Amino acid sequence: MIHITSSFVSLLAFVSIAAAQSAVWGQCGGIGWTGPTTCVAGSTCVESNAYYSQCLPSTSTSSGTGSTGTSTAALPTSTSTAKSNTVAQAAGKKYFGSATDNPEFTDAAYLAILSDNTYFGQITPGNSMKWDATEPEQGTFTFSGGDAVVSLAQGNSQLVRGHNCVWYNQLPSWVTSGSWTNATLTAAVQNHCSTLVSHYKGDIYSWDIINEPFNDDGTWRSDVFYNTMGTYFVDVALIAARAADPNAKLYINDYNIEGTGAKATAMMNLVSNLKSRGIPIDGIGLQGHFIVGEVPTTIQTVMEQFVALGVEVAITELDIRMTLPETDALLEQQKTDYQNVITACNAVAGCVGVTIWDYTDKYSWVPSTFSGQGAACPWDANLIKKPAYDGIIAGFSA
Ligand SMILES: *[C@@H]1O[C@H](CO)[C@@H](O)[C@H](O)[C@H]1NC(C)=O
């Protein structure tokens, strides 16, 4: 920590005496930029996008391990010129996509990349379609946040994944603290899913109708829905959603089902059970919140097993986090990990697409959720593509 602090301070001092030129890693151009457009010796101004050019080291001067924590070590970046959604579609997938969130839309540089449909053919609202955002009081619906995401996607000719209808988390207190009977909660779930999915009828490629229903050991999660209704809440939500938008693909979405094990088996049993009773189910979302070096090796097998049950699959929330600081070796392993996940989807015809859980480390949920971890996304916090991006391209090109 002391290293990081002192080099940060000396970098600030350096910037202040050399204001006519941008420092290494500093901005040197882009729409609206009024600062210096030349870089200090040893670095070159490189355009990242129309809104952001950055001084990058002219030659690779990586410290190798990066373990000293210096802020000026040149970490490796992407070299691919191919576009992620273009290669995904060329491989026969419906999309390569990204999650996003409404507050990020004020960031012009971020929005420019998100809106480039050669990079992203699909977007998922991270928060603005969740229950607390859409029905904060019982029977009072607010769709403005979700509407903004849909409107952005339509302007960009991008698909939308709706996220989500029934989840134990981010619930308004009237749901979590209500005194429910099976009958009254059934009516509330029915009304919520029906109203939400109807509002977006025709706008949504696929909906995560049920999110995270299982514990890691494959038992049902104890929450207000399961505790009050038993597994009947799954039927109620799926049936209401099908009636509300017959053309939307209805998904159940969960994590730790990407490799073989008790939780994946529980999800397969649920799919079989729903199918046998004629309850609508079209897809399973494998979230894909992974750790560098720990991506399950059985992803393709699991996908094939789901597809054999008569559903499609998608990677819906991919990110691959590491313990900070980033190093050359970690970024290289992360590239391999991204490539392996994409390769698995690419090898399974029933895997329709991959969504990353926001494309840039600037807006990743990881650092605030997992202390000391981060750098999980394919674009860094300065919106520069990392080696992980080349892994994505390679996976779709295999
Ligand atoms: C809730 O009601 C439904 C419909 O009658 C029933 O199938 C289900 O078993 C009930 N759940 C519980 C926990 O009683």
* pLDDT at residue 25, rounded to an integer: 67
- The pLDDT > 90 percentage for the chain reads 81
Higher pLDDT among residues 47 and 55, named by residue: 47
* pLDDT at residue 70, rounded to an integer: 42
* pLDDT at residue 398, rounded to an integer: 83
Tokens 């909906």, residue located: 207
Q: Say how many Å lie between the CA of residue 252 and the centre of ligand 1.
A: 20
Calculate mean pLDDT across residues 199-206: 98
Which of 186, 190, 228, 232 most suits a substitution to test ligand 1, by most atoms within 8 Å of the C-beta? Answer: 232
What average pLDDT does the chain have? 90
Q: Say how many Å lie between the CA of residue 256 and the centre of ligand 1.
A: 28
Residue 67 pLDDT grade (very low, low, confident, very high; cuts 50, 70, 90)? very low
DSSP-derived letter for residue 153 is: H
DSSP-derived letter for residue 384 is: P
Which of 185, 224, 229 most suits a substitution to test ligand 1, by most atoms within 8 Å of the C-beta? Answer: 229
Separation in Å, CA 24 to CA 44, 54, 204: 8, 8, 43
* pLDDT at residue 11, rounded to an integer: 36
Cβ atoms of residues 313 and 307 within 8 Å? yes
182 Cβ below 6 A of ligand 1? yes
Q: Does pTM top 0.85 for this prediction?
A: no
229 Cβ below 6 A of ligand 1? yes
* pLDDT at residue 55, rounded to an integer: 62
Which of 182, 235, 239 most suits a substitution to test ligand 1, by most atoms within 8 Å of the C-beta? Answer: 182
Residue located nearest, by CA, to atom 11 of ligand 1: 229
* pLDDT at residue 56, rounded to an integer: 67
Residue located nearest, by CA, to atom 4 of ligand 1: 232
Whether residue 212 lies in the annotated active site: no
230 Cβ below 6 A of ligand 1? yes
232 Cβ below 6 A of ligand 1? yes
Task: Note if the bond before 164 is cis, omega within 30 degrees.
Answer: yes
**pLDDT tens digits for 250-283?**
999 999 999 999 999 999 999 999 999 999 999 9
**pLDDT tens digits for 387-397?**
999 999 999 99
Residue 368 burial (CB < 10 Å; 0-12/13-18/19+)? exposed
Residue 68 pLDDT grade (very low, low, confident, very high; cuts 50, 70, 90)? very low
Instruction: Look at residue 37 and tell me whether its pLDDT is greater than 50.
Output: yes
* CA–CA gap between residue 300 and residue 254 (Å, rounded): 16
Furthest C-alpha separation in the chain: 72
Cβ atoms of residues 315 and 351 within 8 Å? yes
Q: Say how many Å lie between the CA of residue 285 and the centre of ligand 1.
A: 26
Cβ atoms of residues 293 and 333 within 8 Å? yes
220 Cβ below 6 A of ligand 1? no
Q: Say how many Å lie between the CA of residue 247 and the centre of ligand 1.
A: 28
Q: Say how many Å lie between the CA of residue 166 and the centre of ligand 1.
A: 17
Instruction: Look at residue 15 and tell me whether its pLDDT is greater than 80.
Output: no
Determine which one of 135, 258, 317, 326 is catalytic.
317
